[in-house]
Amino acid sequence: MNDPAQPRPPWLRLPLRQSITARLVLMSAASALFIFALAGIVLYTVLKGELMRHERDGLFTTLNDISYQISRAGNTERWGRVQLKLATLTQADQHVSFWIDGKDPRFTFGDLTHLHASHITEDDGKSVGRLHLPGRQYPVHIMTRTLPAFEERPEVQVTVGVDGAPYFEMRRTFLLATTVFSLLGIVLAVISSYWIARAGLAPLRRMSARAQNFTPRKLSARMPVESLPEELSVLADAFNGALGRIQEAYTQLEAFNADVAHELRTPLANLIGETQVALARERSAGEFKGVLQSNLEELDRIRSIINDMLFLARSDQGEAATARVPARLADEVQKTVDFFEFLLDDASMIITVAGDTDATAMMETALFKRALSNLIQNAIQHSPVGALIRIDIASQEETVRVAVTNPGAAIDEQHLPRLFDRFYRVDSARQDINGSHGHGLGLAIVKAVARMHGGRAFAYSTGGHNSIGFTIARD
């Protein structure tokens, strides 16, 4: 298997990475080359064998024919007839030659000097040999047989030869034709695979062209999956899924930006308004002090929004609570509750801490207290005067759970899952005890703190009591 982590060798990397078309063309050229080369080699070997067999059969038949007559020629008179017959045969077919060699020069035939001087090689070790005659481009195929002495004639060696030129010419022509045909075939394979690749990749090109039209303004546009081939529809589906998620994130970001602008606009408008009124006429030092005091409150508000936003942004980027220490939850809860002593007194409210007061967990205590403060603040803000607020601590399998419960108007089902969204307020027009309304970031921070501790936030509203809390991982 190809290991994707293994880099390809450079000679393979360039053309293959550049384009799928180039890749397909290269592959089909390589396979065409292989197929044509293989077919050429097989055909050439078969043809060569068949031609040789044909030559051998011809030589064998001719050798048989004349051997019969030579074996019976035992005197010069009969030999004369043999010579005449051989001369006639040679004249009739220019490609055939005969040589008869023996001790007695009367019973010989043909130009034996060439036969003796020439270089004879056995073809494949079989009975057909090759005779290289001077001045001839191709060797002559020969077959030799020894005939025993008869009457006056001594033992002779009969050799039949056939000119190898047609045989070699045919082999050469075939080789040339096969090579030309193969090259043509490869060129055709390259051209056709180029067109096939282009036609096959047309849907991909259409898809890219469509994808180029997607802009932040047209985020609702989707790739049409039905008109695409099966293989690409999987890709288009994945692409559409990614687009959907981007659209969601983008919409959220836009809403978030609008919220930030909106939240900052009010305190800024207050600041500007107050400053303008203050500057409109002469004021005493005391009056200016009052204005600056009020401005400072607005500036504080802006700073707290910005701080909360920065904290949420860091948590969004995956920042976890790193400075975690083991702590007893009941202790941290009590410290936080103590902080609200005066506020509780003012509203004649009481907070009780109940549940598993021995529970411990690894936590960044400052973050834990910040989240719990937000919950207590909300509980105080949304409870009637003299209410009893309960904080429950519970140990679960891998987490510990803190819930702040206060009596109050039920929170509608539809709001519950959205309470933890940034800037989300059930009734944004409603003002709290201080006459100002919150930013809607308190519960978003609770959710972020829970996530940074490997837990989650939750909210219930039953029987006139609202329970909002969070879990954190034990370790």
For Mg ion, the binding residues (CB under 5 A) are: 378, 438, 442
338's tokens: 């103590």
Distance between CA 239 and CA 260 in Å, rounded? Answer: 31
Cβ proximity to Mg ion, 63 vs 402, nearer residue: 402
221 binds, among Mg ion, ligand ATP, none (CB under 5 to 8 A by kind): none
Out of 102, 129, 267, 438, which residue is the one contacting ligand ATP (CB under 6 A)?
A: 438
Question: Between vectors from CA 165 to CA 44 and to CA 144, what angle results, nearest 5°?
Answer: 100
CB of 281 to ligand ATP, least distance (A): 35
Is residue 441 part of the contact set for ligand ATP (CB under 6 A)?
yes
Cβ proximity to ligand ATP, 59 vs 376, nearer residue: 376
Is residue 336 part of the contact set for ligand ATP (CB under 6 A)?
no
Cβ proximity to ligand ATP, 113 vs 434, nearer residue: 434
In contact, 419 and 447? CB cutoff 8 Å = no
149 binds, among ligand ATP, Mg ion, none (CB under 5 to 8 A by kind): none
- How many chain residues touch ligand ATP (CB under 6 A)? 20
CA distance readout (Å), 31 to 10, 24, 187, 266: 21, 10, 12, 73
- Report which DSSP code applies to 317: T
Residues in the chain: 475
Cβ proximity to ligand ATP, 329 vs 444, nearer residue: 444
Rounded to the nearest 10 degrees, how much is the dihedral formed by the CA atoms of 265, 267, 270, 274? -130
450 binds, among Mg ion, ligand ATP, none (CB under 5 to 8 A by kind): none
Out of 379, 400, 449, 450, which residue is the one contacting ligand ATP (CB under 6 A)?
A: 379
Secondary element (H or E) of residue 296? helix 285-316
Out of 153, 466, 469, 472, which residue is the one contacting ligand ATP (CB under 6 A)?
A: 466
CB of 376 to ligand ATP, least distance (A): 9
Question: Between vectors from CA 140 to CA 137 and to CA 141, what angle results, nearest 5°?
Answer: 140
CB of 438 to Mg ion, least distance (A): 5
- Report which DSSP code applies to 359: -
Cβ proximity to Mg ion, 129 vs 438, nearer residue: 438
Contacts of 29 (CB under 8 A, 6+ apart): 186, 189, 190, 193
CB of 452 to Mg ion, least distance (A): 18
28's tokens: 């089909």
400 binds, among ligand ATP, Mg ion, none (CB under 5 to 8 A by kind): none
Cβ proximity to ligand ATP, 52 vs 312, nearer residue: 312
Could you give the string, one character per residue 396-435, with x where binding to ligand ATP holds by CB under 6 A and - elsewhere? ----------x-x--x-------x----xxx---------
Question: Between vectors from CA 165 to CA 159 and to CA 170, what angle results, nearest 5°?
Answer: 130
Contacts of 57 (CB under 8 A, 6+ apart): none
CB of 357 to Mg ion, least distance (A): 26
Q: 454-460 contacts: CB < 8 A, separation 24 or more? A: 454/399, 455/399, 457/420, 458/403, 459/411, 459/416, 459/417, 459/419, 459/420, 460/416
Burial class (CB in 10 A: 0-12, 13-18, 19+), 377: middle
Cβ proximity to ligand ATP, 355 vs 440, nearer residue: 440
CB of 457 to Mg ion, least distance (A): 13
Is residue 391 part of the contact set for ligand ATP (CB under 6 A)?
no
Distance between CA 247 and CA 241 in Å, rounded? Answer: 10
CB of 323 to ligand ATP, least distance (A): 24
189 binds, among ligand ATP, Mg ion, none (CB under 5 to 8 A by kind): none
Residues that bind ligand ATP (CB under 6 A): 374, 378-379, 382, 406, 408, 411, 419, 424-426, 438-444, 466, 468
